[in-house]
Amino acid sequence: MKILVLGADGYLGWPTSVDLALDKHELLLIDNYAKRSIMSENNRAPLILNKKIESKIKILKKINKKVSFKNIDCSNFNKFSDAFKKFKPDAVIHFAELPSAPYSMLGAKEGWKTLQNNIQSTYNLVWNVKTHRPNCHIVKLGTMGEYGTPNINIEEGWLNVKHQGRNQKFLYPRQASSLYHTSKIMDTDLIWFYLRLYSLRATDLMQGPVYGVYANDFSKENKLEPTFAYDDMFGTVLNRFIVQSVANVPLTVYGSGNQIRGYLNIRDTIQCIKLALKNPPKKGVLNIFNQFTEQFSVKELANKVASALKKIELNVKIKAIKNPRIEKEKHYYNAKNTGMKKLGLKPTLLTDKVIIEMAQYVISNKKHINNKIISPKSTWK
């Protein structure tokens, strides 16, 4: 297939690009390094500052000549449209968004930047698909955070409503608790709107927090790891806990630690994206999958990390700190995730071995850990 990957430099965009290159697809990778810039403007940095795509792509070209890269801001309509029209993709994977809830809640400028970048990129993509390539399959990375934490079971994208004797299937209600997550709801609305009117084809992957380093063995052998963030703004909770354990800093459990989320390994993110590509919806259909494999509370996660890392003699301490976010700390949570399993997802579960392997990667890069960017610096209040 001819696949356009938007946001190819990111934590998930890069490993997806490597995997699709191995599968010999024709790829155009797009990124403008916006996340790198924002991290550095905010004095944050990933564990290792990876090389930019221009230099890493040489390794990919050795296995697949049909891989190219363009430095383009997807929120720039003209530049994006030119690249889209020239490449004529069969599928687009859309990661080109600012992914941080804490960043989006920092202040007026950061909130608007997140909304503007994410909605504009999505709008540019859908408009171009509608106008130039209506058969192209849009695979959009959504988030479980769009649903929030409702007091009823979370269905896979849709809810059948029976009202005064009549039935209608609606998008499952969305009620996020950050501007970032709200921007993802707006994406969903945009895609659903265009799809209803113009019979496009899209898959929305409602993903929980991801953890892990290497998505495949090729990346490990060639040191092609993704940007592994562990700071208070851009690191997801489990990746942060692993770095905190290695840095001998108590694990930062926010508030009571009873917040439950659905988690998944980075290997499974890639599996899910590939399954979505292999199973495109018919025209006019929006496929929605809840993309996570296991549910944990933050407290359970911290305890799992501490108990696994005891086996390699790390004495992990856990400390509940005042929650810098505004979120429910005690809530019902039961989300469905059967769709991807039906398509063939083989989950990589959070075993002690997985936790230890992540810790070993961090231990080998211990000298790069900056303790100053670990604890949360701002609150949402």
The residue ranges that bind ligand USQ (CB under 6 A) are 99-101, 143-145, 181, 207-209, 236-237, 240, 252-254, 259, 261, 298, 325, 327
- The residue assigned the tokens 């071995």 is 353
Q: Of the listed 16, 114, 143, 293, which one is catalytic? A: 143
Inter-residue long-range contacts of 147-152, CB under 8 Å, 24+ positions, other chains counted? 147/172, 147/173, 147/174, 147/175, 147/206, 147/335, 148/174, 148/175, 148/176, 148/177, 148/181, 149/259, 149/260, 149/327, 149/328, 149/331, 149/332, 149/333, 150/175, 150/332, 151/331, 151/332, 152/332
Shorter beta-carbon distance to ligand USQ: residue 270 or 298: 298
How far is Cα 140 from Cα 122, in angstroms, rounded to an integer? 9
Q: CB neighbours of 303 closer than 8 A, spacing ≥ 6?
A: 318
- Centre a 10 Å sphere on the Cβ of residue 87 and count the other Cβ atoms it contains: 18
For CA atoms 127, 128, 134, 135, give the dihedral sign: negative
Residue with tokens 């509608």: 130
The nearer residue to ligand USQ, 124 or 183, going by C-beta atoms, is 183
- H-only helix segments in 133-236: 179-198, 217-221
> What's the rounded Cα separation, in Å, for the pair 329 and 298?
10
d(CA 222, CA 51): 13
Note if 182 is an active site residue.
Answer: no
Q: 250 or 281, CB closer to ligand USQ?
A: 250
Maximum Cα–Cα distance across the chain: 65
CB 189 within 8 A of CB 123: no
Closer of 236 and 293 to ligand USQ (Cβ): 236
- CB under 8 Å to 116, separation ≥6 — which residues? 75
Catalytic residue from among 11, 103, 180, 194: 180
Separation of alpha carbons 367 and 271, rounded Å:
32
CB of 260 to ligand USQ, least distance (A): 8
Residue 59 or 150 having the CB closest to ligand USQ: 150
Measured from the CB of residue 183, what is the shortest distance to ligand USQ in angstroms? 10
Please identify, using beta-carbon distances, which residue of 194 and 292 lies nearer to ligand USQ.
292
Nearest CA to 144 among 43, 260, 311, 241?
Answer: 260
CB of 236 or CB of 265, closer to ligand USQ: 236
Q: Is the dihedral of CA 148, 335, 262, 17 positive or negative?
A: negative
Residue sitting closest to ligand USQ (CB):
145
Q: Which of 113, 184, 274, 299 is catalytic?
A: 184
Q: State yes or no: is 184 an active-site residue.
A: yes
Least gap, CB of 325 to ligand USQ (angstroms): 5
Encoded tokens for 173: 């209600």
Residues annotated as catalytic (active site), given as ranges: 143, 180, 184
